[in-house]
Amino acid sequence: MPTTARDTRLTYDDFVRFPDDGLRHELIEGVHYVTPSPATRHQQLSGRLFLAIGSYLEAHPEAGHLFYAPFDVIFSRWDVVEPDLLFIAADQLEILTNVNVQGAPALVIEILSPGTRQRDLGIKRALFERGGVREYWVVDPKIDDVSIYRRDADGRLVPAGSLTAEAGSLLQTPLLPGFELPLAKLFAPLLPHSG
């Protein structure tokens, strides 16, 4: 009698047993990835995006809800990630639970760092595509650029634009009608240390 191959991929049950060590733990296709705490520039950009989108949502609370890492997003029992920022639209509030998100957010935002660049652009983008994310922003602090991917009629996340601070681009999305963030403001340098 033939033996059945045992599935050795890690699952959400394994994920919840990972240590609470201040690092970002994620599962993608059952493979465990660990990312160190983000650097200053990453946190600055994440904070600016959160404040800009949060201000928009204060004026338009009916649009949905914004969250930031660490906050688990469960796509499947083998796929659990913690995007830097995520937006849950009003028409999908059923995916929110008291402890996590169970399904695809409307918008996912990742800020690239040397340790996550290939993963964010490769297997995570593929996960967001097959998982049903409507829009994916990839923020690149190295070149002050935001790449936007939007779901097309075939269900694929396709490039919808590459915005730069140098070109005076405005960050906008149909998910948040009327929202505009100048990239020059997003990527403004840190204030010099005083004292």
pLDDT in tens, 98-116: 999 999 999 999 999 988 8
Comparing 118 with 5, which gets the higher pLDDT?
118
Residue 153 pLDDT more than 90?
yes
162-177 mean pLDDT: 94
Report the chain's mean pLDDT, rounded to a whole number.
Answer: 92
Return the pLDDT at 195: 45
Return the pLDDT at 79: 97
Give me the CATH code for the 12-186 domain, please: 3.90.1570.10
pLDDT band at 191 (very low <50, low <70, confident <90, very high): low
pLDDT in tens, 29-49: 999 999 888 889 999 999 999
Residue 123 pLDDT more than 50?
yes
Token pair 């994920």 is at which residue?
Answer: 15
Count the Cβ atoms, other than its own, within 10 Å of residue 179: 19
d(CA 63, CA 15): 31
The domain locations on the chain are: 12-186
Return the pLDDT at 19: 85
43-60 mean pLDDT: 97
Return the pLDDT at 194: 46
Residues of the chain with pLDDT > 70, as a percent, come to: 95
152-161 mean pLDDT: 94
CA distances from 169 to 17, 54, 166 (A): 43, 20, 8
Amino acid at 91: D
Return the pLDDT at 22: 78
Residue 193 pLDDT more than 80?
no
